[in-house]
Amino acid sequence: MKIVPHSRGRARSGMTLLEVLIAMAVFLFALVAITELMNIASATALETQQRNVCARLAQSKMAEYVSGVSAVGTGGQGSFEDEGEPDWTWTVETSSQSAANLWFVTVKVSREVAGERTIETSLTQYIFDPAARGNPADSASATTATTAASATPTPSAPTPAPTPAPIPAPTPTPSKTGGK
């Protein structure tokens, strides 16, 4: 009697239970790693968005002081409830400098995030007091009043500014082409 192998020399079709378990373990390991990467990416995106909001709010508050909406000599603190961001707080510190009407303004904007950390931005800028700037109409009326009050006439025609010399047009340079 002759013993004949069951497979008769051909390759098996299909997978063993051990191969299926190994493939599932690799798949689950990759799935866990991808899920963790997605969590890290979404947390980073949220923090970046919050930092952008913080910078925008700080620039907005600084613009109030630069434009004269808020008095430069006054500091203060508050929240951004009017802008729809009640969780964000601001603090402004001002100090006068040795030059007249020059102020050193620092704006800090911050927010507590989940009680574990704080997102904060600080902007610092030298600002010339907008209230001391005046406007061109004020200086024109002051000049007229001074001229009318003085006994000696001042020349009314301004001296023309020198005109710049015309810039010559560039001369074309011959180019060599490689087409022989």
pLDDT at 82: 86
Mean per-residue pLDDT, 120-148: 69
Flag whether pLDDT at 151 surpasses 50. Answer: no
Cα–Cα distance list, 110 to 43, 84, 89, 117 (Å) = 18, 15, 5, 10
**Confidence (pLDDT) at 54:** 93
123, 59 contact by CB (below 8 A)? yes
For residues 111 and 163, which has the higher predicted lDDT (pLDDT)?
111
Start-end of H helices in the chain = 17-67, 130-133, 136-149
Give me the percent of the chain exceeding a pLDDT of 90. 39
Any idea what the Cα angle at residue 56 is, between residues 51 and 61, rounded to 5°? Answer: 125
Q: What is the pLDDT of residues 27-70, one digit of tens each?
A: 999 999 999 999 999 999 999 999 999 999 999 999 999 988 88
For the segment 166-177, what is each residue's pLDDT rounded down to a tens digit? 666 666 656 555
Q: Residues 94, 75: contact at Cβ < 8 Å?
A: yes
**Does residue 136 surpass a pLDDT of 80?**
no
Q: What pLDDT was estimated at residue 88?
A: 92
Residue with tokens 């008095």: 71
| Contact yes or no for 59/80 (Cβ under 8 A) | no
Give the angle 12-15-17 at the CA atoms, nearest 5°. Answer: 130
Residue 37 tokens read as 């990467």
In this predicted structure, what is the pLDDT of residue 1? 61
Residues in the chain: 180
pLDDT per position as a tens digit, 101-114: 899 999 999 998 87
Task: For residue 166, give Cα distances in angstroms to 78, 162, 169.
Answer: 56, 12, 9
How far, in whole angstroms, is CA 152 from its chain's centroid? 55
